[in-house]
Amino acid sequence: MKKIAMLNCLNSNKVCAGAACFTAFNKRIRSFERYKGMDVEVAAFMRCNGCGNDPDEDDGMKEKVERMKQEGVETVHVGLCTKNKEGVRCKNVARIMEMLEEEGIEVVDGTH
């Protein structure tokens, strides 16, 4: 079974229940279409550690990345909430994406 995770913005959790991400996954639409007909499990729904927290200096984020590896997560889908209205991704999330890739975890831009 393939294991995936989703990464979203901590601040977006003020208004986001994750419903659109999970709906897209469950229906295998948008960025999850690639999993049609496959046995896939969402192993984690992780968040960044907030604005102003440098991921390279954040032991909590390092622990989250390590946990993804321990759980056997192969791919992390990054939520739309990690970009501003102009489509520019948050620099902290961009660095987290790099950290995941450095550990051999595929990163996909987009969920729903």
pTM above 0.85, yes or no: yes
pLDDT cut 90: percent of the chain above it: 97
One-letter amino acid of 77: H
Taking CA atoms, 35 is separated from 3, 25, 41, in Å, by 11, 9, 10
Length, in residues, of the chain:
112
pLDDT at 73: 98
pLDDT at 71: 97
Mean pLDDT along residues 31-38: 97
What pLDDT digit, counting tens, does each position of 57-99 carry? 999 999 999 999 999 999 999 999 999 999 999 999 999 999 9
Q: How confident is the prediction for the chain on average, in pLDDT?
A: 96
pLDDT cut 70: percent of the chain above it: 100
pLDDT at 38: 97
* Exposure b/e, 30-56, CB count within 10 A at least 16 = b: bbbeeeeeeebebbbebbbbeeeeebe
- Domains of the chain in sequence order: 2-109 (3.40.50)
What pLDDT digit, counting tens, does each position of 39-51 carry? 999 999 999 999 9
pLDDT at 29: 98
